[in-house]
Chain A
């Protein structure tokens, strides 16, 4: 069980490295391309002017964040089921990338809101849910950093990841309901068809970028574990073997 996955990890070292690097270049290309296309083909918005272009990063980042937390959920469930530590490493990598994406979403959302509505924050349901998600997954990372034992850390992170994800729809609906009850103006939900192509291109580009982040993080975690596993094996046999 654990023995076989550990030996799998100890063989991990260089296999994935090359592929990840290619992925990195691909991601760079995709993002630059996506942003370039979006800038070129989209007209300035009637009301917002060039500010509208923030959407080309803000929206894809938001979607990636959701993908991230879905990955965390699945990986966490798999970990608790199989106790294969690679699932834990994947979940942790996805949380880190997800937190970055979430932070980006929030930051851009605020930058967009200020000139548009005059305030930095409007308690918009989607943005508010994103903010809560940010804190929930920051808590996940805090828990990990305070837990030293690897097995305990994996089990506890998995539980937190699962419960956090389960809360996402509930949080969203509560906040949305809350807003409609107080009849506060909600943000524009529709997107001008002219922008759709740009959005889709960038959504894909950011997804590639996200996958790259996760893959990089995951590979480096596996390398760490592989190194530890070798030290373990040496310790068990009572000497370091070269």
Chain B
């Protein structure tokens, strides 16, 4: 299979996932709703003092993304399991890597869209200076989300197919995301407090390394995991 056909297949899988989501919007609404609720709850939990909220904001934002975004992953495989579509999907010629990459792109787009709604809301609720470091923030959000989605898409390929999937996916996924949480929160926090770009930059480099390692590992291991 040539590179272009593989790229075509990746695009086809991503298109299929996103088109389905677009038609129903069921997942998107549920996830956004949960994210908004989480932000509010954190607000109540951390108290009305805006200083306390601002200090905790970076952590709150990322935890919100993680807790609400994790819903998306099992659901993206639900699509395949419902009418036996997975079997047909596995039958197409070519490598199964494109299935993973296609789903990764679709999930990435999905979670980024959720962030597009929740991050501005967080800025409002916690009084955050979003506009200044906007470019840096966008980059951190992107890099962190790629790591999150890469592993989420991978582990959900397994978790979605066994019982106790709601528990097993977080159990498998969240410990692996510790570097993402640490790096993304530190970088976000640094950017929000107008800190020296140096700090945020180093964290972003860590995120980049994480992303490269785990997208690669997942692509290579996916074949062994998606089959019957």
Contacts and interface: CB of A to CB of B under 8 A. Distances in A.
A152 B164 CA distance: 17
A171 B178 contact: yes
B182 A174 contact: yes
Contacts of A80: 221, 224
Interface size class of A (residues with CB under 8 A): 20 to 34
A155 B225 contact: yes
B213 A166 contact: yes
B176 A178 contact: no
Contacts, number: 78
Interface in A163-194: 163-164, 166-167, 170-171, 173-175, 177-178, 181
A136 B155 CA distance: 12
B158 interface: yes
B70 to A, nearest CB: 14
B138 interface: no
Nearest to A155: B224
Given A159-B221, A174-B206, A178-B186, A167 B172 contact: no
Q: Please provide the 8 A-B residue pairs with the shortest distance between their CB atoms, ordered closest to farther.
A: A174-B179, A135-B175, A159-B221, A174-B182, A136-B175, A139-B172, A155-B224, A139-B171
Given A142-B172, A146-B168, A173-B179, 11 more contacts: A139-B172, A155-B227, A163-B176, A163-B218, A163-B221, A167-B214, A170-B209, A170-B210, A174-B178, A178-B186, A181-B199
Interface of A: 80, 132, 135-136, 138-139, 142-143, 146-147, 152, 155-156, 158-160, 162-164, 166-167, 170-171, 173-175, 177-178, 181
Interface of B: 151, 154-155, 158, 162-164, 168, 171-172, 175-176, 178-179, 182-183, 186, 199, 202, 206, 209-210, 213-214, 217-218, 221, 224-225, 227-228
